[in-house]
Amino acid sequence: MKFPHTLRITLLALALGGVPAAGQAASDTIRVVTDPTFPPMEMTVDGKRTGFDIELTEALAHAAGKKIEWTDIDFKGLIPAVLSGRADAAMSAIYITDARKQAVDFTDSYYAGGLVVLTKSDGPIKTLKDLDGKRVTVQVGTKSVNYMQEHYPKVQRVEVEKNQEMFNLVDIGRADAAVTGKPAAKLFAQQNPGFTVLDEQITTEEYGIAVSKNEPELTKELNQALKTIQANGEYQRLVNKWFEGKK
């Protein structure tokens, strides 16, 4: 009986103890792509990758008995790298969306991002309702501008070009609060005493690890590893280190 050429190659690989590309997850190494330009999630410090996503991925790999092989690429190339088989997974503050789920699988959410309120700890804003009538700074070109305009029409928006400008205006009292993405707000509050991020979020968008649809076992392994580190306290330690504790 003759087999098609591609099937013969696959059977030969299995006979020799190898695996086809789609079975990469069976390896002891997980090939992960990231764009280390989004602190505190992923960044490069003194030539080394670091950040919440980076340390979380390494912790997941350790719990699963695997190693991580990192590759740095631009954010727009993350999903294509997984689709092409050049990577098994992408970990880079990627929101789980219906559109992306058409192309790749996602692990369970490992962190809830979204828009949050950064304000002075001793200021008048304690809940989202307190935003009405207040001066709130937002960065032009981001979703916070239209969202605040539509859902918080009583807010006095102060639009600026840069993230840092938002924080500066709150610091000097020219704005009562800033509305921005949770990781950036948490990082600023962590590094600057006197600032806080409201627990109540304006929007919630879940972060997940994008995994090749050819590797369902890898998704299962990562989900199990996430449960493991949540149960043993390692997950909370990383959250405290990167978002909650003071630096």
pLDDT, tens digit, for every residue of 152-210? 999 999 999 988 899 999 999 999 999 999 999 999 999 999 999 999 999 999 999 99
pLDDT confidence of residue 247: 53
Structure tokens at 39: 């602190």
Is it true that the peptide bond before 40 is cis, omega within 30 degrees of 0?
A: yes
In the predicted structure, residue 60 carries a pLDDT above the cut 80 = yes
Q: What is the DSSP string of 28-60?
A: SEEEEEE---BTTTBEEETTEEESHHHHHHHHH
- Tell me, yes or no, if the pTM score tops 0.95: no
**Alpha carbon distance 218, 21 (integer Å):** 13
Measure CA 95 to chain center.
7
Tell me: the pLDDT tens digits for 75-131? 999 999 999 999 999 999 999 999 999 999 999 999 999 999 999 999 999 999 999
Whether the pLDDT of residue 9 is over 70: the answer is no
Grade residue 2 by pLDDT with cuts at 50, 70 and 90.
very low
Longest dimension (CA), the chain: 80
What DSSP line would sit under 193-204, residue for residue? TTEEE-SS-S--
Rg (CA), the chain: 21
Q: How far are the Cα atoms of 50, 66, 127, 190, 191 from residue 247, in angstroms, in the given order?
A: 15, 31, 25, 6, 5
71's CB contacts (< 8 A; 6+ apart) are 31, 32, 33, 34, 81, 86, 87
Residue 6 has pLDDT above 70, yes or no: no
